[in-house]
Amino acid sequence: MAAYVAETDFKRDTMYVPDRITRGARTPEHGPVDGELWPVEPGRYRLIAAKACPWANRSIIVRNLLGLEDVISLGMPGPVHDQRSWSFDLDPGGRDPVLGIERLQDAYFERFPHYDRGITVPAIVEVDSGRLVTNDFPWITHDLFHEWRDFHKEGAPDLWPEGLREEMDAVMERIYTEVNNGVYRCGFAGSQDAYDAAYDRLWTAMDWLEERLASRRYLMGEAITEADVRLFTTLARFDAVYHGHFKCNRQKLVELPNLWAYARDLYQTPGFGETIDFDQIKAHYYVVQNDINPSGIIPKGPAVEAWEEPVMR
């Protein structure tokens, strides 16, 4: 999960390790090149991504959709961590079975011995050296599509359709600022005024999405794109966490007919639903964020069976 800075108005720490993995370590056509370039090479890297974290969850989904499971291995930390790092407490012996480390911070320190920022997921680690390559989460999924396409499975979706990219960039920017980050802006608001403003911004965007999805199956039309992946991970956590824990409680997702049908549609699509673990999601937010939930009590609900109900869109 990306680090955050607690202030009256929530501000996310967006200083990530900006390295990119590209074909032949080439300079990519899109995006920043502020760090080192690493070559695409099957088996060289391990994606570390906790199911609990929405930012990491999107990288697991994209890896699944593109069929990269045998090309980039996946390590999954447990949902509850301390101030130091995500840890591999779900693995036998509490160590990642490939990297052999107990905490993700070990890979960060292998690359940067004095690293003093948040230890975040998703992260890509070079297997042989055990060094962090990058934790720049929006560019990780971008490059999984654009740079690893020689290894995509047959029939992999076009997550970045050429003719829609300009509009999609605008849609994804609004989703990120107003929804993905908007729920955190509500949850970590440090004053009533900051919360009220954040709440109004979030629900303005949710109403926009509800209207947009009234006339199309997916955000960009009739096919799944990266925009859908980015929205889905927030919607999957909405009723279980954000509605109550983050006080985003005007309505539940299940009370928004278009968004709820859309979210179930994606959940039932191979590559999406199997990445969602509601117990891990709730454990992470309700235990780790003890400034919001000091009791550490994890709610039992909501019931998850409704996600499997048939949907026609």
Residue 242 designated active-site: no
Rounded Cα gap, residues 50 and 275, in angstroms: 10
Rounded Cα gap, residues 79 and 232, in angstroms: 19
Q: Count the Cβ atoms, other than its own, within 10 Å of residue 223.
A: 13
Which residues 6+ apart lie within 8 Å of 114 measured at CB?
none
- Catalytic annotation, pick one of 16, 45, 53, 262: 53
DSSP string, 158-179: -SS-GGGHHHHHHHHHHIIIII
- Report whether 71 contacts 42 (CB < 8 A): yes
Residue 186 designated active-site: no
* Pairing between β-strand 123-126 and β-strand 45-48 as defined by DSSP bridges: antiparallel
- Catalytic annotation, pick one of 16, 45, 184, 285: 184
Query: Per-residue b/e over 189-198, b at no fewer than 16 CB within 10 Å?
Result: beeeebbeeb
| Residues tagged active-site | 53, 184
